[in-house]
Structure 1
Amino acid sequence: MKVVVIGVGQVGSSVAHALAEDHEVIAVDKNPDRLDSVRAETDVLTYEGDGARLEVLKTAGVPSADLVIGSTSDDRSNILICSTARALCESTFTIARVAETEYLATWSQLREAFNVDLMVGADHLTARSIVEVAGLPTARDVEYFGQGRVVMAEFTIPEESPVAEATVQAINLSDGVNLVAVFDDDQMEIVRGKTHLHPGHRLLAIGKPTQVERFGSKLAPEARLKNIRRVLILGGGEIGYQTARLLEQRGLEPRLVEIDSERAQTLAQELPDTLVLHDDATNPDFLRQEGVADTDLVVSALTPDERNLLTSVLSRELGAEQVLSVVHNGAYEPLFARSGIDVTVNPRREVIEEILRHTRARGVEKITFVGHEQGEVVEVELDDDSPLAGTPLEDAAQAIPHNFVIGAVIRNGDVLTPRGKTVLERGDHVVMFVDADVADEVLEAI
């Protein structure tokens, strides 16, 4: 596949790097330093120029491209790039990255409005991930598949956990949940029956949401498992606003703190079920007064990341039950973890995952990365040609070139827990874990 990535900042360069191994990638940017950086790390062709100009698009090979990604820092330029690319070649699939929610809302209601095949909004994706994590309090990362029927959750194994140092086959997993991978900062491995669960390592579980939640309580029985009801959002930017809006849709009444008075008034008008507080979220006296210690979840969605770290640590020290922080710079995530922050969400990673989902093999419904992109969890629909269909799984898996684990199967709306004797069928949606280095080969084979 021929891919043209226009705008190679952090998101664009990451996408180019991820696609370059298996596709012909051309990177376009006005900044020569960015292009030098991309060439130094990735095997791509580069072209210097303004991607919003027709001649630049023609010279960069857009008329013969299979996929064009507009990933500049300007929403209008990205929309213009994609609509122009479609005019140059009707069969080209276009993806526009946008920050302005209004563009995303208009496109969602009227797909023909901008002549763009896919719009990706970082703020909306980030808010959606925050709300998903809020639904599983003991997990540090959560993704839903199959329209919410299946959940993937990442847990840290506590030192005092009753399963610490046990083998997987010894912990008597209930039906409805599979353990698929265990990893730390250095390595990741597929779970087998004899795999030991070491304290401090992270564990990936896939299954029915209720069963995965029960497993989380078994992993850390001292954790206070309850429904998240009292949510405090620090920061009324677009991510904070979108998070509050999604929580309202789930019947919650969050509180939101915004320091700018005009913005606070606007938010109060647009969020009828959210209590908007005009104050400084970095003020410990204010946080104490607002009862952070009695809050189920604090969402820190400020900018820059340094302010988020401050408010997150303050909230933790003041007794917040769980703290989730938005981290824009991925290099800071280990610092947040060492500071005791439960969960971090990276907007750039959310965008990258959404874009890459549309570049994978036919049938891929969703993809998410885990463990510093060491592994992938993918939802795939099986067709008639799949070697996994029609044969017991333990035999069918021999036809796939690399190891993988199927965590759950969705068939006609029901969730099945696969075992070796399970026979998969055409139309089944399988949620599987695979090593990122061999993911493309596995997906092509399936």
Structure 2
Amino acid sequence: AAEVCQRLGGVVVLNGDGLDTEILEEANVGTAETMIAVTDDDEVNILSSILAKRLGAERVVTLINKPSYEPLVTNLGIDAVVNPRSITVSHILQHVRRGRIRRVHTLREGFGEIIEAEAMATSALVGRPLREIDLPEGIIVGAIVRGATVITPRGSSVIKADDRVVLMATTGAVRKVEKMFAVRLEYF
């Protein structure tokens, strides 16, 4: 704690049990906009987050390494869960996926992926209303991002070149998404 205080400078560092309400109150967690629990103990992170929320913290973010805990914490009032394994898998997939894939987030239990991809001028998605596009089964377009504008897709929505498209794809449909956003030879 002394080393952290020395390195950060101008920061108050409290050293104590994150499950001790006196420590949390001393840290003014009840007036905190966000409390982040990132110890190496999942149970302490979960319980201290619940305590912080009960003491009045507006939002709590909890580090959880055991994937089996994630479904449990959503019902406990925890606002966000950070799982290093999921982050690592998503980051790797972002580089492994073919096409103009910008971000990938895996869904629990191998259900599928949330994919953000850039629409190229040669993509079959560009220039036609969504209702006229025969999307493969297992793919749902969730949003179209054009510049700073987020568009909720409707049947009449038209994807333009350079739009970012956020979609959900089941595991079996991921390769089809890659093909939809791949750069085709006629582009060059």
**1:302 and 2:39 are equivalent in the alignment:** yes
- What TM-score, normalized to structure 2? 0.79
User: Could you say what secondary structure the match of 2:65 adopts?
Assistant: coil
User: Could you say what secondary structure the match of 2:90 adopts?
Assistant: helix
Written as runs of structure 1 = structure 2, the 5 A alignment for 1:82-161 is none
403 and 299 in structure 1: CA distance in 2 versus 1, 3 angstrom threshold: same
Written as runs of structure 1 = structure 2, the 5 A alignment for 1:167-316 is 264-272=1-9, 274-316=11-53
414 and 293 in structure 1: CA distance in 2 versus 1, 3 angstrom threshold: closer
Contact 2:18–2:44 (CA under 8 A) maintained in structure 1: no
Structure 2: give runs of 5+ residues left out of the alignment: 182-188
- What TM-score, normalized to structure 1? 0.37
Structure 1: which amino acid aligns with 2:39? L
Contact 2:14–2:23 (CA under 8 A) maintained in structure 1: no
289 and 354 in structure 1: CA distance in 2 versus 1, 3 angstrom threshold: same
Distance (Å, rounded) in 1 between the aligned partners of 2:136 and 2:44 = 47
283 and 380 in structure 1: CA distance in 2 versus 1, 3 angstrom threshold: same
What's the counterpart of residue 353 of structure 1?
90
> How far 1:301 sits from its partner (Å)?
0.7
**1:325 and 2:59 are equivalent in the alignment:** no
Contact 1:390–1:425 (CA under 8 A) maintained in structure 2: yes
333 and 390 in structure 1: CA distance in 2 versus 1, 3 angstrom threshold: closer
Deviations 1:314-340 (A, max 9, x none): 323433333221001111223434544
Distance (Å, rounded) in 2 between the aligned partners of 1:317 and 1:360 = 42
Contact 1:374–1:437 (CA under 8 A) maintained in structure 2: no
What's the counterpart of residue 124 of structure 2?
387
Contact 1:401–1:445 (CA under 8 A) maintained in structure 2: no
Deviations 1:46-100 (A, max 9, x none): xxxxxxxxxxxxxxxxxxxxxxxxxxxxxxxxxxxxxxxxxxxxxxxxxxxxxxx
Greater relative contact order structure (CA < 8 Å, 6+ sep): 2
Which of 415, 429, 434 is 2:164 aligned to? 429
Identical aligned pairs, as a percentage? 31
Distance (Å, rounded) in 1 between the aligned partners of 2:4 and 2:121 = 50
Q: CA RMSD in A?
A: 2.5
Structure 1: which amino acid aligns with 2:81? T
**1:441 and 2:181 are equivalent in the alignment:** no
Distance (Å, rounded) in 1 between the aligned partners of 2:170 and 2:51 = 37
Structure 2: which amino acid aligns with 1:415? T
User: Could you say what secondary structure the match of 1:299 adopts?
Assistant: strand
Structure 1: give runs of 5+ residues left out of the alignment: 1-263
Distance (Å, rounded) in 2 between the aligned partners of 1:424 and 1:440 = 20
> How far 1:352 sits from its partner (Å)?
0.7
322 and 294 in structure 1: CA distance in 2 versus 1, 3 angstrom threshold: same
312 and 426 in structure 1: CA distance in 2 versus 1, 3 angstrom threshold: closer
What's the counterpart of residue 362 of structure 1?
99
Aligned length: 180
> How far 1:273 sits from its partner (Å)?
5.6
